[in-house]
Structure 1
Amino acid sequence: MSSLKHNGTSPLFIELTELPVPTSAEFIKPNDGVLRVTYSVRDNERNAKKSVTKTFSLNGGSPVTAQESPEIKASTTSLSTERQAILREASEKRFVEIWAGAQLEACLEVTKAHGEFHTNEFTSSLSFSPSETALLYTAEANPPIVQNLSEDPYPKFRYTPHFGETLHSQKRPTIYLFRWRSPAVAASPRARAAKEDLSLIALSPAEVETVPVLFGQAVFATEERIFATGYEHTKDGRILGIKYCPNRPAGIWELTLPTQDALGELDDRVSGSAVACSSTRLTLSERSCRSPRVLRDASGTPTKLLWLSNPVGGAHSACVQLYSRDLRSDSGDKVLVDTVFEAGEKEFPGLYLDYNLPASPFTEYRGHTYVAMHSLWRSRSTVLFVDVDSGEVSHETEVFSGGEPYSWKVLSTDGYSRLVCTRSTPTIPSEVVLGAFDRQGNLNWTLLDRPALSMEATEALNGLKHSVVSIPERYPTDVLVIQPKEVPPGPKPICITYPHGGPHSTSTTAFSPAAIALALEGYTLSMPNYTGSLGFGEKWVQKLIGECGTLDVGDCIATVEHLITSGISERGRQFVQGGSHGGFLAGHLIGQYPDVFQAAVLANPVISCGEISTSDIPDWYFAEFGLSFEPDTLLTPETYKKLFNASPIAHVDKVRTPVLLAIGEDDLRVAPTQGRGYYHALKGRGKQVEMLTFPKETHPIDGVEASRVWWEATRDWLRVVAEQM
């Protein structure tokens, strides 16, 4: 009989997960002080995610809130702020629209020209030309059309790799150029463009490599000059999964548009026909490069190109290099911020960024131009400014004595002296703040927006405290601890060890609704940043390579022991929870230390590393365990033996802990067979185990209903065990 019984919904969980999360921002009228912030909102009752915008007048007045139309897939404002581009899908039709204020200046239906718009962070493009007469965007090219299957059916069925986890529908990202006026026409808003002036072409860069290259992230520099990120197939015909993996074969390319005369020869100017343009790779093949950003001077002339770079292969995330190129002289590339191999506790550890720089990252103060970004610095994310000439790094949100250890995210800048950020702590939900430099170069912060909380939620959050604890003799391991401020007499609260996935990721002081809701159930949360976590220096990222299953497990059990000896938790009152590599660690902990943990919860865990199966990142199973991975690599018996011995499945016979599993049935990162195999292995050995499977859910299990049910199952599973202790 099942020991997992549903105990109803949690009002606090519902409230916390439905708080609006700022996701992007844009200064739509910088001179007038008008800022628009977009929020993501979950609706548990309707099982839906929504986008909401708030428009702020920085010169006074109340913000205006509007629910963003689900028809709008992407939008951007031009450099002059006179125009807005919208990619729209409505009634199974797709449109590209150009708005000049409240007036529709140009509109083209592109339903037949290509497939879905690409709006992901890896391949999407949305860039106005300097004259504001053309727009670049990325969409899925139509597959080859087979008119008569009896003649040649193969193109319809020929294998085409996709971009992996959550991007399985994206196989042919293509840059499209939509033009509605001649560049010679003045850029001021005008009446609606004539139909005969509209044109749409697909850019088809000349291939100069031996493997196919797929392009995205395109930005205009001049009317003819474009910079883009090119993603390469591997020699064996793969596109390695890119989500969370900034180490893929990719480079920054320069594309040159064909002449207007060549475009004028097209038979159908709005069909999306492919037009060849010259192409040159600017970056080295051993570097994985992305996120091109063009810096312009006051006259709009492009002066510098900046981009992010990681080594190809190896650790799936690591210290980032920031590069620049002088566009006025096309001089050699310059490393603005280099890899930091080792750093002291309070020293700059190097750049550990999201996949991209902010869409609008540049700001000016103290007579210099800087690129603004947020980067991991040990157990928090902080705001950094990098001088675009010298590469000097300024730390702008350092925590001083008594200050809140906020984790920050830069959303956008106005290109001059202001930037908008979001910040949070484990007990303070995401706030929107405006940073502005005064004439002395001092950065001053103004709170623009914070979510409204019920009195019950406010009191509950005020009842928690958090701290970052360093683990003696395990440097750089530390642990983020969230616990009740007041503990009643008797046994200490049960401590849940909650290691992050990756393994190259970080548990930060950012607000996490699901984690905090669990802490509000009366638990102490211990979130270790073990060796291999980001934000501590490259030395520690590399130190984990080849030691997964030993060093990271040792760090995690050391955090358990330290919290016990320091009086924060108590022996015999220990749970463990984790997903992905965190699930790998949880599986190891209950196998290697069967007497320590009384309950375990694992989501899409890596259980048997030799069973690569359908993973979109097969190289992970080699690289992270210190093995070479090449296009012709095969899984030999010797390799399988090493991977098996490094896996939780090797310790399954020793497991005594009750285990709850959650599996996303459409997970392309860790094959669902991993979790299912562990379930049957435990079940066959007479162990206490339950498993929930979620149709159409991928690796994160982040659908509105699925994530709520999964959280409730975790709560109920742990509650049953706790009541028996």
Structure 2
Amino acid sequence: MSILQYGGPSPFYKELAEVPLPTSADFVQVNSTATIIRVSYSFPDHERGTRRSVTKTFTLSRPGSDELDFEPILTSTTTQDSSDIQAFAVSRSRKYQAILREITDPDGGGKKRFVEIWADLRLVASLDVTKAHGQFHTDDVFKSLSFSPSETALIYTAEANPETTEGPEDDPYPKHRFKPHFGEMLFTRQRPTLFMLRWYSPHDATSFTRVAKKDMSLTALTLPGSLSDTMVLGQAVFAKEEQVFVTGYEQTEDGRYLGIQWCFNRPASIWELTLPKAGLIDGDSSGASVTCSAAKIELPGRSCRSPRVFFDLDGTAKQLLWLSHALGGFSCSSLHVRDLSGETDDRVLVDAVSDAEEDQFPGLYTDFTLLTNPFIYNVAPSIVMQSLWRSSATVVSAHLETGAVSHERMWFGGSPSEGWTILATDGVSQMVCSKSSLTSPPEVLYLTLNPGGEWVRKVLDRPTLSPKMQEALEDLTISVVPIPDRYPTEAVILRSKKASAVLGPKPYCVTFPHGGPHGVSTTSFAPSVAALALEGYTVSMPNYTGSVGYGDKNLQKLIGQIGTLDIGDCIASVEELIKLGISERGRQLVQGGSHGGFITGHLVGQYPDVFKAAIMQNPVTSLGEFVSSSDIPDWLYAEMRLPYSPGACVTPEAYKTFYEASPIAYVDKVRTPVLLIIGEDDRRVPPTQGKNYFHALKGRGRQVEILTFPGIGHALDGVDAFRIYHEATRDWFRASVTD
């Protein structure tokens, strides 16, 4: 009989998970009397079983006050559903807004897509692009949504239509030729293409009259010659009317695109495109192709992404900035700059940091993309970036001339356990951020520079929680515990104040290693972690050697030692918490996903008497089999410090190395009850990894169960899937412990 029995809905998870999380913001209007800010949120709607998007608009009014310290009056709209808006952008002058919209076709039940240009409340241009191309690409990897300097054209990214066969005598091969995709979460992308919509001549940018379809042009921008067969473009930004910078993602020699999601080291470069004048004012709106000339910014050994153009206050494009990463390797990001006037050479503005003291800048650990407009004038022009600083999400800025890095969060105030996320800047002196912690969902803050160069903050929006939930969260406490003799390894701890103070047995402690392995657990809000703590558990999230946010030296230490060094760090964190009295022996549980599942498998195999129960979500269990079917085969070779080249095949010697570093090598020793959670559409870690581990344990008579989720990928990010995962975690742990 199964020991996993449903205990009903979690009293904590659903409320915490459904708190709308701010995802982006835009400064819609900025003038002397008012600042208008549009904030987008996302949340899982468990009733509908889908993720929803909503927006709120905030107005900060300054009616005729000349006082420098005048407190602006804040008003806001009610929440508006924006699920049909795939992407939104504001032009540099803020006269126009662009919307990529997808709606359900009321006649056929399919999808219809529109590109819309608005001037305040007036719809200036709208084009039905349903037949011109497929879905819009609004993910971080491919998304483009950039106005031309004249604000008469827009570049965006969408899926080109497939080639079709019209009749029996037509060539059938193009339709059936293999098209490589981009791996986990991006496998539906096979033909990402840049499209440019133009609705006015560059010399007629002042009219707000509705543009007729015959006066609009839609063109697909393509590369010359063989480049179009081996590279796709995304992340396009205008610099001049005929000059666009893009990220080009390149195929490897064996004809694949290595998985890009969560991977910053793929073959990719920044390219300069020159648009042909003939393609700019063509009245065709069908999406016909025009070929652009292309020049690559050569940076051997680097993977480049996220081009951004810095304009001075008179609208002249001054500098191009972009991020880079070691090609195929593991490191923090570097920030590069090019002088668009050509007066100085390209240079590295912010370089990698090898070894940093605890209170020093550890290097750039940015998101995959920079903000659409990441610039501010903080005394001098600077670029603002999201980054990681040990176990904290934070905001940093870099001076555009010197590259000097400032820890902006230090100016914001607040608790060290809070995590900050940058959502938008106005390009001058205003920012919108969110702030959260493991015990407090995000609130949205408006920050502005005062004349003394200090950030002044104002809360725009706070989450709404029930009084019962608020009281429960106030009982939780956050701490970061360093692990002796394993610097800089530390564990982020979330536990109940009351339960920790009660005499008698300590609460069960869940060791929860992150994935990656070059990921990190932070002090920022995580609904499932908070809910688990509210269920009565102490949660320990060790940032083991190789975690990002601690400098390159720490990251590089793990290379060649997965399955040993990371495991040693995690078990040392268990022992340290026991020593400190935070937890106690015999009351240990373990849970992890991806590489965290890999660590979990090792811990229950190498330390069979320590943990009472284990949960492994989409785990890597057998490296030798993983490498042949994952979208990131190169990762394993690099992680094991073995040579990799396109077309590589696993040799018997390599397989032996992989096997010995795998959890499957210790399967005979496992005594801990194990629950496996598997997404059937996982392209990163093949589902067979978890299923074969299940069969191996089952065949040895061990206590093991498995839940599978069709149509769900590596992150298990389906609304119902993740809820069930949390409830199964609670129920498995309850069933496996004696009290």
Q: For the Cα contact (< 8 Å) 2:411–2:454, is it kept in 1?
A: no
Residue from 681, 685, 705 that aligns with 1:690: 705
Instruction: Give the secondary structure class of the aligned counterpart of 2:356.
Output: coil
Give the distance between the partners of 1:439 and 1:402, measured in 2 at CA.
21
Specify the alignment match of 1:146 in structure 2.
165
Of 608, 630, 639, the match for 1:594: 608
User: Is the alpha carbon distance of 1:459 and 1:145 closer, same or farther for their aligned partners in structure 2, counting shifts above 3 Å?
Assistant: same
Query: Letter of the aligned partner of 1:682 in structure 2?
Result: L
Q: Provide the C-alpha distance between the structure 2 equivalents of 1:399 and 1:677, rounded to a whole number of angstroms.
A: 51
1:425 counterpart residue number? 437
The answer (yes or no) to whether the contact 1:251–1:285 under 8 Å persists in 2 is no
Summarize deviations over 1:522-543 as a string: whole Å, max 9, x none: 1111100000000110011111
Determine if the alignment matches structure 1 residue 72 to structure 2 residue 124. no
- 1:665 corresponds to which letter in structure 2? E
- The equivalent residue for 1:27 is 27
2:55 touches 2:82 (CA, 8 Å); kept in 1? no
Q: CA deviation at 1:404?
A: 4.3
The amino acid that maps onto 1:305 is L
Specify the alignment match of 1:464 in structure 2: 476
2:607 paired with 1:625: no
> 4+ residue stretches of structure 1 with deviation over 4 A?
207-211, 399-402
Q: Please point out which of 268, 272, 275 is paired with 2:290.
A: 275
User: What per-residue deviation string (whole Å, max 9, x for no partner) do you get for residues 581-633 of structure 1?
Assistant: 00000000000000111100110000000002431111112111111111031
CA–CA separation in structure 2 for the residues paired with 1:253 and 1:532:
32
Partner of 1:300: 315
1:193 aligns with 2:211: yes
The residue identity in structure 1 corresponding to 2:180 is P
CA contact (8 A) 2:124 2:211 kept: yes
**Does structure 1 retain, via aligned residues, the 8 Å contact 2:412–2:456?**
no
Corresponding residue for residue 579 of structure 1: 593
User: 1-side partners of 2:226 and 2:340: how far apart?
Assistant: 23
Match of 1:378? Answer: 390
The 1:420/1:283 distance shift into structure 2, 3 A limit, reads farther
User: What do the CA deviations read for 1:402-457 (whole angstroms, capped 9, x no partner)?
Assistant: 83421111111001101111111110111111111101111122221110111111
Change (3 A) 1:207 1:326: farther
Q: Is the 8 A contact 2:198 2:280 kept in 1?
A: no
Task: Tell me how far 1:209 sits from its aligned partner.
Answer: 5.6
User: Does structure 2 retain, via aligned residues, the 8 Å contact 1:232–1:250?
Assistant: yes
Q: Tell me the distance in 2 between the aligned counterparts of 1:39 and 1:669.
A: 27
Answering whether residue 110 of structure 2 is matched by residue 109 of structure 1, we say no
Amino acid at match of 1:701: L
Q: Does 1:319 align with 2:332?
A: yes
Matched, 1:168 2:183: no
Partners of 2:19 and 2:168 in 1: CA distance:
52
- CA–CA separation in structure 1 for the residues paired with 2:689 and 2:699: 15
Deviation by residue 1:204-233 (Cα, 9 ceiling, x = unmatched): 122576971110100111110000000000
Amino acid at match of 1:56: F
Displacement of 1:399? 9.3
What is the aligned length? 717
> Do the aligned partners of 1:404 and 1:425 also contact (CA within 8 Å) in 2?
no
Q: 2:69 — aligned with what?
A: none
The Cα of 1:28 is off from its aligned counterpart by 0.4
State the one-letter code of the partner of 2:45. Answer: D
Give the CA deviation at 1:683.
0.3
Deviates most, 598-607 or 279-288: 279-288
* Distance in structure 2 (CA, Å) of the matches to 1:35 and 1:205: 37
1:247 equivalent to 2:247? Answer no
> 2:362 matched to 1:349?
yes
TM-score (norm 2): 0.95
**Alignment RMSD (CA, Å):** 1.5
Q: Please state whether the residue corresponding to 2:633 is helix, strand or coil.
A: coil
1:89 corresponds in structure 2 to: 102
Contact persistence 1:165–1:668 (CA under 8 A): yes
Q: Distance in 2 between matches of 1:134 and 1:325?
A: 24
Offset at residue 85 of structure 1 (A)? 1.1
How far 1:68 moved relative to its partner? 3.0
Determine if the alignment matches structure 1 residue 407 to structure 2 residue 449. no
Q: Secondary structure at 1:398's aligned position in 2? A: helix
Partner Cα distance (1:80, 1:133) in 2? 12
**Which residue of the partner structure matches residue 489 of structure 1?**
503
Structure 1 length normalisation: TM-score? Answer: 0.97
Q: Is the 8 A contact 1:319 1:350 kept in 2?
A: yes
Residue 189 of structure 1: how far off its partner (Å): 4.3
Contact 1:381 1:407 in 2 (8 A): yes
Secondary structure at the aligned position of 1:121 is classed as: coil
Identity over aligned residues, as a percent? 55
Aligned position for 1:555? 569
Candidates 177, 185, 200, aligned match of 1:158: 177
TM-superposition CA deviations, 1:450-481 (whole Å, max 9, x none) = 10111111111011111001011001100001
Return 5+ residue gaps in structure 2 as ranges: 62-72, 106-110
1:257 aligned to 2:275? yes
Correspondence 1:389-538 to 2 at 5 A = 389-398=401-410, 403-487=415-499, 488-538=502-552
Alpha-carbon separation, structure 2, partners of 1:248 and 1:21? 29
Query: Equivalents in 2 of 1:195, 1:665: separation in Å?
Result: 44
d(CA) in 2 for partners of 1:226 and 1:449?
Answer: 37
Q: Offset at 1:285?
A: 3.7
Q: C-alpha separation between the residues in 2 aligned to 1:394 and 1:480?
A: 25
Which residue is equivalent to 2:65? none
Task: Identify which range, 692-701 or 394-403, moves more after superposition.
Answer: 394-403
Partner Cα distance (2:54, 2:75) in 1: 16
Deviations along 1:291-327, one digit per CA (max 9) or x if unpaired, are 1111001111100111100011023xx2110001111
